[in-house]
Structure 1
Amino acid sequence: MNSPKTRVASSVGWSFLTRYSSKLIGMVNTLILARLLSPEDFGIVAMASIFINMLMAMTEAGIHLYVIRHKEDDNRIYNSAWTANLIQALVVALLMLLLAPYVADFFNQQALVEIIYCLALVRLLEGAKNIGIFIAQKQLNFRLDFKLSFYTKISSVIVTVALGFWLRSYWALVWGQVLSAIVGLVLSYTMFSYRPALSLYKWRDILRYSASTLPFSIGGFINGQADVIIVGRMATADFLGKYQMGLNLAGMFTRELMMPVVRGLLPNFAIVKETAEGKKFLAFAITGAVYVFVPLGVGLNAVAPEFVATLLGDKWLSVTPILAWFSLYTMMTGIMMFLGGQFLIVMGREKLSNRLVWMRSVILFSTIFLTLYLSDYHALPRSLFLSACVALPIVLLVVTRVLAFNLAQLLLQWIPPVLSALAMWMLIRWLPWPEWPMAIMLIVKVLAGALCYGVCVAVFYLLRGMPSDSLEAFLIRKLMPAR
């Protein structure tokens, strides 16, 4: 039988492979479409996505966490959870149909009406998916999750790219989502043996739970979409497309990478959360996130010019400063996701999680207001990074106090990755590089930065006396187990 650590490694590994294989395939899809479509096409679809994400946040039931936090395997709970997902999908789809004309008027884009009508079908299909995927995650079987995600994404990309070559319009993006939802629905019932049924078992408990997590969902939407809504309202579809492209690419290498880690850790954390190992488990996970994602965010900031020129092309060059600032912003918001997000909900601390996300919303709104008052929406990426610099210390202080963590000890563990990432940034940005083609320079700088970061982390590990309880020691034991 696997040990708990092996289960953690397996869960995170498969969840990471699921999420990031999907994201890598999606990135290839985006990069190809960026050559075929205009920033305006991406901006129009982004406007529809803003509206849909808002409805999702306002009706989010948090069913996957509800299933995970219940230790028992009860088909009645699974059926009720599937029923709640279906009801949410029906409500969202109906609201999409009713509000589509008003959304089109708000953004002054009448094409949004037909787009939203098509995406309402997507929401219905996604809501009807087999809940067996949540059961598999609860049972730490992330292999099936990977297969479902991989096959769905590959099918979607093939058709979307083909439609992009044919249509050369935003409809390629829309119909790609429709096909992805159809394939995902079919595969969810083909690959998972569980067959859900309509049920209202414990519906009051589900309703209370959903009500307790709804503020977190709405606050998360505000933190992630408030600036995009403002840009969509004030700017052109062309600028919104570039803004959204920069945000999505930055998140893909930072915040999106954290999602599979959280997804893999949550079921394991739910098992040990009430034991003495629970606090140690969470602290170790937070430190690991800093070691991995700080260099990714800082590194992407450093190579942003080469990245945009190589992968997106000349018509997207103005995305460079947007990507540079968003790489740092999404890095910091991802770390805050570890500190004050789903882990707290699994621990039963929904109120604390809600307060933290709304505190971040207040800081974000204040930042946006000051930015628009003193400048304009072009300065928002830099201002959002500054808002994260204010919010992160507050979230860190509150969480460590409530959970009785040693704040000083935790911060000391963060010093090596932060200083190593800074050294990497200085190497990439300040070293006089030859005038080689952008694609070659991107590869060279990425390799040089990775080597610099690894060497600096190793040096700090030696200078600290090779502590046995450090993340470096844990990795060495994993890679070179004692015989």
Structure 2
Amino acid sequence: MPHSTQTKIAKGAVWMILFKLVERGLGLISTLILARLLMPEDFGVVAMAMSFIAMAELLSAFSFDTAIIQNQKATQEHYNSAWTCSLLLGLVITLVMIALAVPIATFYNRPELAWVVIALAFGPLFTGAQNIGVVAFLKELDFRREFRFQVSRKLISFCIVVPLAFLFRSYWALVAGILVSKFGGVLISYLMHPYRPRLDFSKARELLVFSRWLLVNNAAGFFKERAADFFVGRMIGANSLGTYNLAYELANLPTTEIGAPINRALLPGFAKMHGPAEVSSAYTNAVGILALVALPIAAGMHALAPYLIPVMLGNKWLDVVPLMQLLAFNGALLLFHASICAVLIGRGFPARVMYANLFYTAMLLALLAGIFQYDKSIGVKGAAYAALLTSLLSTPVYLYQLRHCLGLQPFLFIKAATRPALASALLILMVQWVIPPYRVGTTFVSTFIWLLAGSIVALGTYVAAVLLVWHVAGRPVGAEHMLLQRLAKEWAQRFKLRTGSSHV
């Protein structure tokens, strides 16, 4: 059972990463098109509206699906009650946001924002109506079907938002993309799973007992991600908010594209585990893989940002570069925070996740308020400094929760991340030594060539540095050993197949 569960987690992580690669591929193409057609202010207007929409969605942030995943004895009544509560809460949020559309527009002093809020207000209702049966994909570790479900939603959104961007050339293309993605998710959820939920409140109280902690935890998570939006949007404006949001999204690629899918597989997997030894082994391996993959991505983004942004988005987005360089490291830290939260929730400690996230949120709000009150001229970069500093100072709090609840020592985390961190530092130094500083006015072809050269240098340096550091450390059993073993097995199988086919 232990080996089977860890194997399913590993396969699930592969499926979820594959989904994120497909999603990001579509998202990257979409972002490139939208960034060329739209202005930073357009992104900022949508970010203003989504800040309040997301805050209102906290009313439905009980994460009933997570409660069902964690409960190995969930019945049909649990599923029906979860769907009923989600649907009703989604309806309440829609009505509340429609009523508050004008006050929100007044808060930001942008009258046109009211209609954006009204349109986006229907998103929570669509989300609440989604078929609760698709939770079984994760609960039963059926990641292949989860992959198909998530990719289908993304494809629908992509096929709508890009044509609308050419048609409208405004933020309405972004609004339409968000709504279509949510509504499409509802339709696909009922097509892909035969379960048909019914109105039922019989298990609502039981679900709330577990999910009440997740509500507060999701509230803390909201301010963890969105607190800067209120400060930047209110004090600096939509243009700066659009710049910050795009920088934050790109810089958090290690979290959203690598960490999120792995953590999505970790939560149901850890819920099925038995015994501290199995949990300790699985967590150490997971952190090692996360560090081995995500840290060089963050380091590469930091080093190559001056060339990456002009190639991807154009020179009108150059203000994103310094923000992205700061937030890249923040994204890597948030990745590890998310993995700790997934383990704790999976093992039945949502309250401890809530405590850690509340600490993070309180510190972030205090730093944002202090920085903008002290010096408003620091601009949007002040929000990036506040986010990075908060992530650094709160990491020991997350590690403490892990040790307190599961007996996993911080040494396991440090040991797993040290070698990839050293190799990533060498990556940054080598790229900065080889690639010249970017100069405004450089042709697109030259910029692309230097970006390609820098990427090759970054990849080569990291692979060589990882192997060197691992060898100097005595080639211990860990993420490097697992990865090399896996590659050797794959090559052996390929060689065997080729040899067999040649004999035939």
TM-score in same-fold range (> 0.5): yes
Residues 1:122 and 2:123 aligned together: yes
Misfit runs of 4+, over 4 Å = 432-436
Q: Please tell me the residue identity of whatever aligns with 1:440.
A: I
Please tell me whether the aligned partners of residues 17 and 257 of structure 2 are also in contact (alpha carbons under 8 angstroms): no
For residues 78-97 of structure 1, give each alpha carbon's deviation from its aligned partner in whole angstroms, at most 9, with x where no partner exists: 11111122122112112111
Inter-CA distance 432–264: structure 2 relative to 1 (3 Å threshold): closer
Distance 1:328 1:14 in 2: 26
Report matched runs for 1:241-252 at 5 Å. Answer: 241-252=242-253
Distance 2:284 2:271 in 1: 15
Match of 1:155 in 2: 156
For residues 153-197 of structure 1, give each alpha carbon's deviation from its aligned partner in whole angstroms, at most 9, with x where no partner exists: 122112211111111111111122222223222111111111111
Distance 1:406 1:210 in 2: 27
Match of 1:268 in 2: 269
Q: Number of residue pairs matched?
A: 481
Report matched runs for 1:228-307 at 5 Å. Answer: 228-274=229-275, 276-307=277-308
Q: How far did 1:410 drift?
A: 3.6
Match of 1:412 in 2: 415
Please tell me whether the aligned partners of residues 308 and 316 of structure 1 are also in contact (alpha carbons under 8 angstroms): yes
Q: Please tell me the residue identity of whatever aligns with 1:127.
A: G
Distance 2:20 2:257 in 1: 8
Match of 2:66 in 1: 65
Match of 1:453 in 2: 462
Over aligned residues, Cα RMSD in angstroms? 2.1
Please tell me whether the aligned partners of residues 152 and 180 of structure 1 are also in contact (alpha carbons under 8 angstroms): yes
Match of 1:480 in 2: 488
Distance 2:215 2:74 in 1: 25
Distance 2:290 2:128 in 1: 31
Please tell me whether the aligned partners of residues 270 and 347 of structure 1 are also in contact (alpha carbons under 8 angstroms): yes
Name the stretch that deviates more: 90-99 or 285-294.
Answer: 285-294
Distance 1:451 1:470 in 2: 21
Secondary structure of 1:480's counterpart equals: helix
Report matched runs for 1:105-184 at 5 Å. Answer: 105-184=106-185
Please tell me whether the aligned partners of residues 420 and 456 of structure 1 are also in contact (alpha carbons under 8 angstroms): yes
Distance 1:443 1:273 in 2: 47
Distance 2:188 2:426 in 1: 46
Inter-CA distance 327–445: structure 2 relative to 1 (3 Å threshold): same
Report matched runs for 1:24-35 at 5 Å. Answer: 24-35=25-36
Name the stretch that deviates more: 187-196 or 142-151.
Answer: 142-151
Q: How far did 1:397 drift?
A: 3.9
Please tell me whether the aligned partners of residues 254 and 296 of structure 1 are also in contact (alpha carbons under 8 angstroms): no
Distance 2:295 2:5 in 1: 27
For residues 301-351 of structure 1, give each alpha carbon's deviation from its aligned partner in whole angstroms, at most 9, with x where no partner exists: 111111110000121111111111111112112211222x23212222222
Inter-CA distance 228–314: structure 2 relative to 1 (3 Å threshold): same
For residues 230-271 of structure 1, give each alpha carbon's deviation from its aligned partner in whole angstroms, at most 9, with x where no partner exists: 111111211111111111111234344311110012111111
Q: How far did 1:273 drift?
A: 4.8
Match of 1:464 in 2: 473
Name the stretch that deviates more: 151-160 or 389-398.
Answer: 389-398
Distance 1:413 1:151 in 2: 35
Q: How far did 1:275 drift?
A: 5.2
Match of 1:362 in 2: 362
Distance 2:411 2:186 in 1: 48
Q: Please tell me the residue identity of whatever aligns with 2:10.
A: A
Q: Please tell me the residue identity of whatever aligns with 1:473.
A: H
Q: Gaps (5+ residues) in structure 2? A: 494-504
TM-score normalized with structure 1 length: 0.94
Distance 1:219 1:411 in 2: 26
Percent pairwise identity = 30
Q: Please tell me the residue identity of whatever aligns with 1:350.
A: P
Match of 1:442 among 434, 445, 451: 451
Q: How far did 1:475 drift?
A: 1.8
Report matched runs for 1:185-196 at 5 Å. Answer: 185-196=186-197
Q: How far did 1:276 drift?
A: 3.0
For residues 405-432 of structure 1, give each alpha carbon's deviation from its aligned partner in whole angstroms, at most 9, with x where no partner exists: 2333542332211100000000111225
TM-score normalized with structure 2 length: 0.91
Q: Please tell me the residue identity of whatever aligns with 1:369.
A: A
Name the stretch that deviates more: 80-89 or 421-430.
Answer: 80-89
Distance 1:432 1:100 in 2: 49
Please tell me whether the aligned partners of residues 58 and 217 of structure 1 are also in contact (alpha carbons under 8 angstroms): no
Name the stretch that deviates more: 406-415 or 205-214.
Answer: 406-415
Please tell me whether the aligned partners of residues 337 and 395 of structure 2 are also in contact (alpha carbons under 8 angstroms): yes
Q: How far did 1:208 drift?
A: 1.9
Secondary structure of 1:405's counterpart equals: coil
Name the stretch that deviates more: 68-77 or 370-379.
Answer: 370-379
Q: Gaps (5+ residues) in structure 1? A: none
Distance 2:228 2:6 in 1: 40
Distance 1:401 1:367 in 2: 27
Secondary structure of 2:318's counterpart equals: helix
Please tell me whether the aligned partners of residues 9 and 265 of structure 2 are also in contact (alpha carbons under 8 angstroms): yes
For residues 270-310 of structure 1, give each alpha carbon's deviation from its aligned partner in whole angstroms, at most 9, with x where no partner exists: 11154530222123222322222111112111111111100
Secondary structure of 2:202's counterpart equals: coil
